Structure 1
Amino acid sequence: MLIAKVTCSHHLETYISSQSINSDVVIACIDAFFPAVDKPTVIVTDQASIHTSDAILDKVEEWKQRNITLFELPSYSPQLNLIEILWRFIKYEWIEISAYKSWETFVASVEKILKEFGENYVINFV
Structure 2
Amino acid sequence: MPFYYPVTGSVDSDTVIEAFEDFAIKMEDPKYSSDDRYTVVMVDNASIHTSHKFRAKVEDWMIEKKLIVCFLPTYSPELNLIEILWRKVKYEWLNLLTIMSYKEFEQEVNRVFESFGQEYTISFA
Do they fold alike, i.e. is TM over 0.5? Answer: yes
Alignment RMSD? 1.6
C-alpha change, 1:54 and 1:19, in structure 2 (3 Å) is: same
Q: Distance in 2 between matches of 1:118 and 1:14?
A: 13
Which structure dedicates a bigger proportion of its chain to strand?
1
Alignment of 1:99-118 (within 5 A): 99-118=98-117
Further displaced range: 106-115 or 92-101: 92-101
Across the two proteins, how many residue pairs are aligned to each other?
Answer: 116
Q: Which runs of 5+ in 1 are unaligned?
A: 1-10
Instruction: Indicate the residue corresponding to 2:89 in structure 1.
Output: 90
C-alpha change, 1:99 and 1:74, in structure 2 (3 Å) is: farther
Q: Distance in 1 between matches of 2:10 and 2:16?
A: 11
Whether 1:14 and 2:4 are equivalent positions in the alignment is yes
Letter paired with 1:19: G
CA deviation profile, 1:23-75 (whole Å, cap 9, x unmatched): 11111111111123631211111111000101011112212213222111112
Q: Distance in 2 between matches of 1:99 and 1:42?
A: 38
Instruction: Indicate the residue corresponding to 2:21 in structure 1.
Output: 31
Q: Report the TM-score when normalising by structure 2.
A: 0.83
Report the Cα offset of residue 16 of structure 1: 0.7
C-alpha change, 1:18 and 1:97, in structure 2 (3 Å) is: closer
Q: Which runs of 5+ in 2 are unaligned?
A: none
CA deviation profile, 1:58-106 (whole Å, cap 9, x unmatched): 1122122132221111122221111111101011111113344222222
Q: Report the TM-score when normalising by structure 1.
A: 0.82
